Structure 1
C-alpha cells in the first residue's frame, strides 16, 4: 500500500528540490569562473584543479536540469544523480582548498553538497 504524501511533505520536497537546484547553479558558476582563473600553462596540479572545476560545473548544471524537469522521474535515478553531484562537489571543494583565493568556490561547492544531502533526506 502506498501512502500519499501530505501537503507539508510535498512542500518540503519541492522546497528542498529548488534549494538543491539553486545550489547546483551557483556551484556551476563558481567552478566555471574558478576554472577560467586557473593558469592554463601552470603545473599539473593546476590543470587537475581546472579540469575538476569544469567537471563539477557540468555535473551541477546537469543535476539542476534534471531537478528542473516537470515530468515524473524515477526516484532512483534522481538519487544517483544527487549522490554523484554531492561526491563531485566535495572532491572539487577539497581541490579548491589547496588553491589560494579559491575559498569562496570551495565554500560554494560544500554548500551544494549539503543541499544535495538535504534533498536526499526528503527522498528517504
Structure 2
C-alpha cells in the first residue's frame, strides 16, 4: 500500500471513529439531559441545557462526517473544533453531578476523537 493510500485509510478510520464517538456522546448527553429535572437547581438546569446542546452539536458533527463528496475542509474543521469545545465544557459540568461520570467520560472520548481526527486534516 502506498503512503497516500495509507493516509486515506487512516483519514477514513479516524473519521469513522469520530462519527461513532459523536453518536455515542449525543446518545449519552440526550439521556442524561432527560433525567435532570428542568425545575431543579441552577446547576442542574445548566447541565441539562448543556447536555441538550452537546447532543445537538455531536449529532450535527456526525452528519457532517457522514456526508459523501467534496466537503470544505475549513467547515469540517470548524465543526470538529466546536464539537470538541462543547464536549469538554459538558464533561466539566458533568464532573460536578452525581452519577455524571459516564456522561463526562463519553464527552471526553468524543473530544479526543475530534482532536485525533483534526490531526489527520493537517
TM-score greater than 0.5 by the shorter chain? yes
CA–CA distance in 2 between the matches of 1:38 and 1:7? 46
Structure 2 gaps, min length 5: none
Question: How far 1:17 moved relative to its partner?
Answer: 0.2
CA–CA distance in 1 between the matches of 2:36 and 2:75? 33
Matching residue of 2:40: 42
Question: How far 1:40 moved relative to its partner?
Answer: 1.6
Question: How far 1:108 moved relative to its partner?
Answer: 0.2
Matching residue of 1:16: 14
- Calculate the aligned-residue CA RMSD, in Å: 0.8
CA–CA distance in 2 between the matches of 1:89 and 1:69? 22
1:74-113 paired onto structure 2 within 5 Å: 74-113=72-111
Question: How far 1:84 moved relative to its partner?
Answer: 0.3
Q: Number of residues paired by the alignment? A: 120
CA–CA distance in 2 between the matches of 1:83 and 1:91? 12
Structure 1 gaps, min length 5: none
Name segments (4+ residues, structure 1) moved above 3 Å.
none
Residue 6 of structure 1 aligns to a residue whose secondary structure is helix
Matching residue of 2:67: 69
Kindly provide the CA deviation profile for residues 2-58 of structure 1, in whole angstroms up to 9, marking residues without a partner as x: xxx710000000000000000000000000000011122211111110000000000
Question: How far 1:106 moved relative to its partner?
Answer: 0.3
